[in-house]
A and B are shown apart, each in its own frame.
Chain A
């Protein structure tokens, strides 16, 4: 594999009352990628790395990236039901899930609602837990400089993702995504206060990855996810902020790869 798989297929699905933008590439078992609250709609280097091993399915959540906003989605539960519909639409019995930040929370919720649909779960710096002693920073109030400082260790790299001179399109898109995010996460802020009571329902093998220098979401959230999901493991990605898939794509995808290597024999075991 070249690692430069620009051959991803773009589809526009009619689903839930609007058009959903979906990118897909690679071969192997299906892996659903659930993106974070910003920057949807782009096929990025980590997608290519994942596509070396998996059939990567990467939709833009409704109201993010190039997907339409669906008026009926105004909370995480709605988004979960949207994704259950999406899996049916794609005729997928179950998938591997990788979710980052907001997407990690969504992955956990999917695994709670329909454990059988999630073959394995990787959460990268997920929000979603209600931990009053370890508050998530108020991302809605941050200006671009503060966002770069909160999300990335490497501030030069951060400039590639959060431009110091955004054009009108970028500002419009950011507003659309923040609006959609607000509907999921303004209050209760970035969490489902009931989630910790439900995580015992998760049956998927679970890996929690955490940037060593995440200044947005405290590591305690990762530790709680690890402790609340049976058999889950927590691994730290060094030299990295809140967005390991952007800041350390090689290390992060390698960690996901090792997790799947370990799963494989289990699967054979179970098959026997």
Chain B
């Protein structure tokens, strides 16, 4: 089992009347953001990610979100750049660059290649579409999201793997000289990770390309379906999906005892799902962001808003794992057995968790949970 520490870098200081606001995204005014507090937060969060190296994690994850309180990394490549020079062994997973939100995909090809070269080949390149809200925040037509994503992806991979200059004539991007300097160090290119939200198209698309498939926040019974879909996609492509290409994103909070973990963790997990992930429905699902088919499937799935799921159900249904080291080991083993993942992106800073709890959470997880699974994979 591989372990990455995921961070969202939220801005936890929401206005007092936040529960009456429609969302933590798009319309939550940035007058609520205090840059002085931000200086402390960014540096603290970066410290936490850097500490993962000492604790023996395989890697760390940064990601991209725009104009919200949930995650304050509009440029994940900037965060990766800050981390590359402060770490030596960790892989740094950018999960990912929001391709359709960029006007110029070659900026992604260039920046990720720079990071890969500077880091000596420690970069993992994730590609995402960005969430629905971001199509409002960036005024990108969501109905073009899938085709922009697909074309930008093809262009970036070609730019990394084909000698330039070459010409690219696509629907959304038309370039006479594609000739990206630097080329990435890892060959043919950095590993690609694809975070996804259950779209059947994405499962087989990722499997066909042997990309790592990552889940996002959802109940475990749904994750089972997604991972099965990815495995089926791999089978259809003529191979068996290895466990370490299936990754789960999981908020995890470990404390000395179950009681302590829940007493403290309830607030953090609730902040994440009920505040940070509070969306206006119309923002989260803009027109054309999904195919008509996927939209129909989504409507029929009856999947409600995160904010409608109680803390107890969040824990019970596998949205988060909270408990003593023994409980967390047990629950993680159970989930791994049920879902068949071999990669854990552990969200060890959750919501409004303070620094000391984050550090203790990371230490307990690294010392009392991770070794159990490493021994297991070594034995296997």
**Interface residues in chain A, defined as those with a beta carbon under 8 Å from any beta carbon in chain B:** 74, 138, 140-143, 168, 171-172, 175-176, 178-183, 186-187, 189
Q: Are A187 and B287 in contact (CB under 8 A)?
A: no
Q: Are B299 and A140 in contact (CB under 8 A)?
A: no
Q: Does B371 sit at the interface, judged by CB under 8 A? A: no
Residues of chain A contacted by B283 (CB below 8 angstroms): 141
Residues of chain A contacted by B295 (CB below 8 angstroms): 172, 175
Residues of chain B contacted by A180 (CB below 8 angstroms): 143
Known: A179-B143, A182-B288. 15 other contacts (CB 8 A): A74-B143, A74-B144, A140-B136, A140-B287, A141-B136, A142-B282, A143-B281, A168-B296, A168-B300, A171-B299, A172-B292, A179-B288, A182-B143, A183-B141, A189-B139
The 10 closest A-B pairs by CB, nearest first: A178-B287, A179-B288, A186-B141, A179-B287, A182-B287, A182-B143, A187-B139, A179-B143, A175-B295, A183-B143
**From DSSP, what is the main secondary structure of chain B's interface residues?**
helix
Q: Are A140 and B144 in contact (CB under 8 A)?
A: no
Residues of chain A contacted by B342 (CB below 8 angstroms): none
Q: Assuming A141-B136, A142-B282, is B142 touching A186 (CB within 8 A)?
A: yes
Query: Could you tell me the distance between the alpha carbons of A180 and B296 in the complex, rounded to whole angstroms?
Result: 16
Number of A-B contacts (CB under 8 A): 56
Residues of chain A contacted by B280 (CB below 8 angstroms): 141, 143
Q: Does B140 sit at the interface, judged by CB under 8 A? A: yes
**Interface residues in chain B, defined as those with a beta carbon under 8 Å from any beta carbon in chain A:** 26, 135-136, 139-144, 280-283, 286-288, 292, 295-296, 299-300
Query: Could you tell me the distance between the alpha carbons of A180 and B141 in the complex, rounded to whole angstroms?
Result: 11
Query: Could you tell me the distance between the alpha carbons of A143 and B300 in the complex, rounded to whole angstroms?
Result: 19
Residues of chain A contacted by B299 (CB below 8 angstroms): 168, 171-172
Residues of chain A contacted by B281 (CB below 8 angstroms): 143
A230 nearest CB across to chain B (Å): 34
Query: Could you tell me the distance between the alpha carbons of A186 and B286 in the complex, rounded to whole angstroms?
Result: 10
Q: Which of A140, A180, A186 has the most CB of B within 10 A?
A: A186
* Smallest Cβ-Cβ distance to B287: which chain A residue: A178
A143 nearest CB across to chain B (Å): 6
Residues of chain A contacted by B142 (CB below 8 angstroms): 182, 186
* Smallest Cβ-Cβ distance to B22: which chain A residue: A143
- Choose one: B135, B140, B292; the contact of A176 (CB below 8 Å): B292
Residues of chain B contacted by A189 (CB below 8 angstroms): 139
Q: Assuming A141-B282, A186-B141, is B296 touching A172 (CB within 8 A)?
A: yes
* Smallest Cβ-Cβ distance to A189: which chain B residue: B139
B105 nearest CB across to chain A (Å): 18
Residues of chain A contacted by B282 (CB below 8 angstroms): 140-143
B217 nearest CB across to chain A (Å): 23
Residues of chain B contacted by A175 (CB below 8 angstroms): 287, 292, 295
Q: Are A183 and B288 in contact (CB under 8 A)?
A: yes
Residues of chain B contacted by A182 (CB below 8 angstroms): 141-143, 286-288
Query: Could you tell me the distance between the alpha carbons of A266 and B244 in the complex, rounded to whole angstroms?
Result: 78
Query: Could you tell me the distance between the alpha carbons of A183 and B144 in the complex, rounded to whole angstroms?
Result: 8
Q: Are B141 and A187 in contact (CB under 8 A)?
A: yes
Residues of chain B contacted by A186 (CB below 8 angstroms): 135, 139-143
Query: Could you tell me the distance between the alpha carbons of A74 and B286 in the complex, rounded to whole angstroms?
Result: 16
Residues of chain A contacted by B288 (CB below 8 angstroms): 178-179, 182-183
* Smallest Cβ-Cβ distance to A168: which chain B residue: B299
Q: Can you report 15 A-B residue pairs in the complex whose CB atoms are below 8 A from each other? A: A142-B282, A143-B282, A168-B296, A172-B295, A179-B143, A180-B143, A181-B287, A182-B142, A183-B141, A183-B143, A183-B288, A186-B140, A186-B141, A186-B142, A186-B143
